[in-house]
Structure 1
């Protein structure tokens, strides 16, 4: 073989080897880049899955308790719907509950007759719970379970009198007060009128303006009256 031919073959082999080396290096770099991208994608998928699981857990927890305050949603069977609705409104305010979630919250915390009523209500209205306004729902549940609609809370408030301890009278007065709308001066007047004479007469002289002030004065007078009573049951002479 001529020297020139051998030189040409050698040069060709060297070029081919250099190209193969270059192609191999590029292939290795491409594989490394692909591996890095796949690892990054895998981490991203894991992160998204963790976020999804946390979101699911958060939604489950949110249906029962508020995430920050751990406020429990009130349960309801068929007893004292007015008190239950009052607690619901407080929960919705603190929880900043969406309008579309309110009926669902209420439904999963119903029991017994209340749950049966809810099922009948949903069937008769033929709507998704997300489409039912809370104002409409609460009006219907009140009409079904409220006993105050057949009572006269204003009359009961006016005729209420203290028989036992002051605290028991205040609790009963406060419960009736939630069922009526009275201006502050009328509320104070009704509260004083129902007190025992030995408490009512002294605090009238102070002319209290608010129920809080009136109750504080009544409590002081009640303690003062008890302090004047001897163990034998007779009062001290002054």
Structure 2
């Protein structure tokens, strides 16, 4: 398994998660986790860590916190509120990606809350379709939203074809 490098060009959350997966898979002792992660930082990220390490090697939780503060998205004053205010605008895929990104940074741990936050940002018709099925978790809710959106697209296309045929156009 290759240990990922971190060069601060992307959100550190995914890199930190990848590190944790490797630590778990290799049964890495807690005392070595920060050192090993820092060893795989390059460029600006390595320079940042050198400064942080001058104060003494941080604990694992402190390292993650500092890394997210320095290289992650700006701190939000109301992170759950930001998720709650999200609305599907362009595509469902873009909405799902942004929702999951915000969720990963905010960690509302209750499954029911995640489903409610997700569905509240969907268009009214899509929201009603998904909520009527009472999905038990976020993955099911997202899958349902994709299926209902696909059904709506098919129905809209079919309706256009039928109205064209009624008018006598090919």
**Structure 2 equivalent of residue 114 of structure 1:** 45
In the TM superposition, what are the counterparts of 1:68-83 in structure 2 within 5 Å? 70=1, 72-78=2-8, 79-83=10-14
**How far off its partner does 1:191 sit?**
0.9
Q: Report the alpha carbon displacement of residue 149 of structure 1 after superposing the two structures with TM.
A: 2.4
Q: Which runs of 5+ in 1 are unaligned?
A: 1-69
TM superposition score normalised by structure 2: 0.79
Q: CA deviation at 1:195?
A: 0.9
Please report how far the alpha carbon of residue 121 of structure 1 lies from its aligned counterpart in structure 2 after TM superposition.
2.1
Relative contact order, higher structure (CA 8 A, sep 6+): 2
Does structure 2 conserve the Cα–Cα contact (< 8 Å) formed by 1:157 and 1:176?
yes
Structure 1 residues 143 and 217, CA gap change in structure 2 (3 angstroms): closer
The one of 76, 84, 104 aligned to 1:158: 84
> Secondary structure of the residue that 2:97 maps to in structure 1?
helix
Worse overlay, 86-95 or 145-154: 145-154
Q: 1:80 to 1:106 in 2, by over 3 A?
A: same
Unaligned runs of 5+ in 2: 164-170
Match of residue 86 from structure 1 = 17
3-state SS, counterpart of residue 90 of structure 2: coil
From the CA coordinates, give the structure whose radius of gyration is larger. 1
1:53 paired residue number: none
- Residue 39 of structure 1 is matched in structure 2 by none
What is the count of residue pairs matched by the alignment?
161
Partners of 1:103 and 1:221 in 2: CA distance = 45
- Which ranges of 4 or more aligned residues in structure 1 deviate by more than 4 Å? none
Q: Distance in 2 between matches of 1:149 and 1:201?
A: 32
**Displacement of 1:236 after TM fit?**
5.6
C-alpha RMSD over aligned residues: 2.5
- Please say if residues 228 and 235 of structure 1, whose CA atoms lie closer than 8 Å, have aligned partners that are also in contact: no
Q: CA deviation at 1:150?
A: 4.4
Contact 1:229-1:236 within 8 A present in 2 as well: no
- Trace 1:10-159 onto structure 2 (pairs within 5 A): 70=1, 72-78=2-8, 79-125=10-56, 133-150=59-76, 152-159=78-85
